[in-house]
Structure 1
Amino acid sequence: MLLNIKNIETRPSINAGKSFHKHELKMRIDKVTLVSNFLDKNEKKKIYLELRNCNKSQDNIYTITHTKLKEGHPYKKAINIFSREKFPALLLHIAYSPVNKNTGSIRFDFRPQHVNDNQFKELIRWMESKFGSTIIKTITRSWITQIDVALDMYDCKLKDYLWSLKNASASEYFHHKYGLPGLRLGSIRSKINILCYEKIYIRRGEFYSLQSENGLMEVTNKNHKHLLRIEARVKPKITSNKIKGKSLLLKEISSMDNPFLRLVIYSNQMQGELIKKNYLRYKLKTNDVSVIKKKMKKRSKLSRHSLAVIEQNEIDLIDRDNVWEKWKLCIRRLEYLSQEC
């Protein structure tokens, strides 16, 4: 079958145990966005000069491209740093020259999933040699504006369960051509939204041997592992009462709250029980609980009894506390970065 490369996973992640239904669990950070301010005009001038001139000398380690950002973007200029391999991976996007004064001076979008620990350290050392030690110091005092945490459930598909996000009504189902199905829970403007989408895992050696064209790959082996990625996209804030609402600093990343606590998973039997009790007329082609609730509301208000049926079908699929104990392993690279000064 033809499959979008974005639906293929090739990188290993950190083991996070098993679900209560025996799915193998793996976790990692997929992306982290850091923003920082310059200490003075000299620091700004020095870093901007290095960024503008960074690809004038040939580099055999990474590919560097310059980008003029579109109107409406908070920054005017950016550079992209890609790996040098058959399928280049974006490792780092640096945006600078903010449009508004209230926007942070510089933004770093790291994609740590594309490298191992040693390769990440090599990237940081390369940055220091290319842009100078000042830019590393700028990163160490940065704050986190968004972090994407991926929890993978192997041998699991979206249709196996019903999904919901506490205190969120917005959701969106998607299934693009040559892709696999997925579901967004929550608004992209919220503090947290969760994406649940399917991928298949292919080892890198085999992945490189497959035929590909225009971002599509011909996958003939039907024995590849299927996985469901539960990706929490979080805009972390400090939750202690003294400084509640302040952005989380990079050096405080270990104290980030567990983003999977608001995820609610239900048994597929729920719709059948709602139909039996006449709260739902027929089974909907959805695995989104918010869609089911909206359909029920069209008939009558959600009663205490109908909500009880929904709650009774909630299942304890993942030991969230046990999974989150692996967070300290996920952040090793970023802690290394926060200490490099």
Structure 2
Amino acid sequence: MYINKKNIDFNYSPKVGKDFKGRPIRMRIDKLTLVGNIDNLSQENFVYEKLDSLSSHKYKKYRVQSIRGIDGKPYRKAVIIRNKVIPSPLLLRIDYFPINHKTGDLRLELHPQHLLPEEIDRLLCWLNKKLNMKLDDVLLNSWVTQVDVAVDIHSARLEYYIWGLKRSEKAEYFNENNGLPGLTLGSRRSQLYIYCYEKIDGYNDPIIRRMKRRSLMNIQHNDYDSFLRIEARFRPRKNIGNKNKSMLLKNLMQMENPFTRLTVYKKNLNLKLAKNGFLKSCPCNPSMVKLKHCIKLSTKTLRLSHKHLNLIYESQLPLFDINMVWGFWPRCITRLGSRLKVIMKK
């Protein structure tokens, strides 16, 4: 079968413990988005000119692409930075020249999963020099607008469990051609939503790595190590007019645990509900939102009874120790490199 390269992971994630079945768990930051301002108008114009000219030169380690006239975005211009080697994933995107004066002067979207800590240091140092040492000043007072935190459970499958997100009534299942199944919990417009999806582990597999240039890979899913990714996409509350109510980069270490709202249930809950006459057919969508909807349709009720809720509660499963795993959050921060670590300590 052909698997899309997007469903294969080529990057390293540090171990952070084991789940209730003893399967290894790994965790990392997949994306960090920061927004910052430049001190004054003259420096702002200077930095924008430097960014404008960045793509007009060739560099030893990086490829730089400029984008102009971005529809539907709060910025008019952007710069995309990749490794010199082709193909290369996106390392850093910088949006600038905001349309609205209330928008931050610069937006930096960093993808640290594709870089070692020393490589992040090298990239930021290189960019800081290109911007005449103005980048560090922006980062020092920048605030976080999104953090994607990925927790991987090896040898687990999405279909083994039923998934829920407290205080959310939206769940979207997907299983596209040449892809692996996944589930979105919560609205993508909300402060927090969670992706649960399967991936093949290609980090230590030489056969898969040799096929890395191809967009579709002819491999059998069951022949390779795979894992279930639970990815929390968290957008801290932001208030441009009052930075005390925004999460500054230097406070990233104190970020709240984004997995506390995640709930997991045993798959045999479907059978228990069916035996009690509460469920006529099992939904393909393995979410608690869809399951509750099917119960209401099967029993022709508008609200779940105490019997329904008790069965659901009894089937809840502590898939992994959420607080134990989050105790390794400082290790994830360390993998952002020493340069950002120094800035966060100022």
Normalising to structure 1: TM-score of the pair?
0.93
CA spacing shift, 1:147–1:80, aligned 2, 3 Å = same
What residue identity is the alignment partner of 2:285? T
Contact 1:265/1:316 (<8 A) preserved: yes
Q: Which secondary structure does the structure 2 equivalent of 1:310 belong to?
A: helix
CA spacing shift, 1:76–1:184, aligned 2, 3 Å = same
Contact 1:31/1:111 (<8 A) preserved: yes
Once the two structures are TM-superposed, the CA of residue 212 in structure 1 deviates from its matched residue by 4.9
* Structural RMSD (CA): 2.0
Contact 1:141/1:338 (<8 A) preserved: no
The correspondence of residues 1-341 of structure 1 with structure 2, limited to 5 A, is 1-203=1-203, 205-210=206-211, 212-213=213-214, 215-219=215-219, 222-237=222-237, 246-298=245-297, 299-300=300-301, 301-332=303-334, 333=336, 336-337=339-340, 339-340=342-343
- In structure 2, C-alpha distance between the alignment counterparts of 1:319 and 1:211, rounded to whole Å: 34
- In structure 2, C-alpha distance between the alignment counterparts of 1:315 and 1:208, rounded to whole Å: 36
Name which of structure 1's ranges 111-120 and 201-210 shifts more when overlaid on structure 2.
201-210
- In structure 1, C-alpha distance between the alignment counterparts of 2:257 and 2:271, rounded to whole Å: 32
Once the two structures are TM-superposed, the CA of residue 130 in structure 1 deviates from its matched residue by 1.7
Q: Which secondary structure does the structure 2 equivalent of 1:260 belong to?
A: coil
Q: Which secondary structure does the structure 2 equivalent of 1:81 belong to?
A: strand
Deviation digits for residues 64-90 of structure 1 (CA, Å, limit 9, x no counterpart): 000124322111100000012242111
Once the two structures are TM-superposed, the CA of residue 323 in structure 1 deviates from its matched residue by 0.3
Name which of structure 1's ranges 14-23 and 144-153 shifts more when overlaid on structure 2.
14-23
Percent of aligned positions that are identical: 34
- In structure 2, C-alpha distance between the alignment counterparts of 1:211 and 1:71, rounded to whole Å: 31
What residue identity is the alignment partner of 2:249? L
Once the two structures are TM-superposed, the CA of residue 180 in structure 1 deviates from its matched residue by 0.5
Normalising to structure 2: TM-score of the pair?
0.92
Contact 2:55/2:64 (<8 A) preserved: yes
- In structure 1, C-alpha distance between the alignment counterparts of 2:154 and 2:221, rounded to whole Å: 17
What residue identity is the alignment partner of 2:137? K
Contact 1:140/1:338 (<8 A) preserved: no
CA spacing shift, 1:334–1:311, aligned 2, 3 Å = farther
Deviation digits for residues 191-238 of structure 1 (CA, Å, limit 9, x no counterpart): 10000000001136433412754x222225853211011000001249
Contact 1:192/1:234 (<8 A) preserved: yes
Once the two structures are TM-superposed, the CA of residue 282 in structure 1 deviates from its matched residue by 2.5
Contact 1:28/1:149 (<8 A) preserved: yes
- In structure 1, C-alpha distance between the alignment counterparts of 2:338 and 2:147, rounded to whole Å: 14
Pairs aligned (count): 336
- Structure 2: where are the runs of 5+ without partners? none
Once the two structures are TM-superposed, the CA of residue 274 in structure 1 deviates from its matched residue by 1.1
CA spacing shift, 1:55–1:245, aligned 2, 3 Å = closer
Deviation digits for residues 91-113 of structure 1 (CA, Å, limit 9, x no counterpart): 00000011111111110000000
What residue identity is the alignment partner of 1:336? R
What residue identity is the alignment partner of 1:100? N
What residue identity is the alignment partner of 1:40? N
- In structure 1, C-alpha distance between the alignment counterparts of 2:188 and 2:155, rounded to whole Å: 28
Once the two structures are TM-superposed, the CA of residue 50 in structure 1 deviates from its matched residue by 0.7
Q: Which secondary structure does the structure 2 equivalent of 1:217 belong to?
A: strand
Deviation digits for residues 228-258 of structure 1 (CA, Å, limit 9, x no counterpart): 11000001249xxxx9992210000010011
- In structure 2, C-alpha distance between the alignment counterparts of 1:244 and 1:163, rounded to whole Å: 35
What residue identity is the alignment partner of 1:318? F
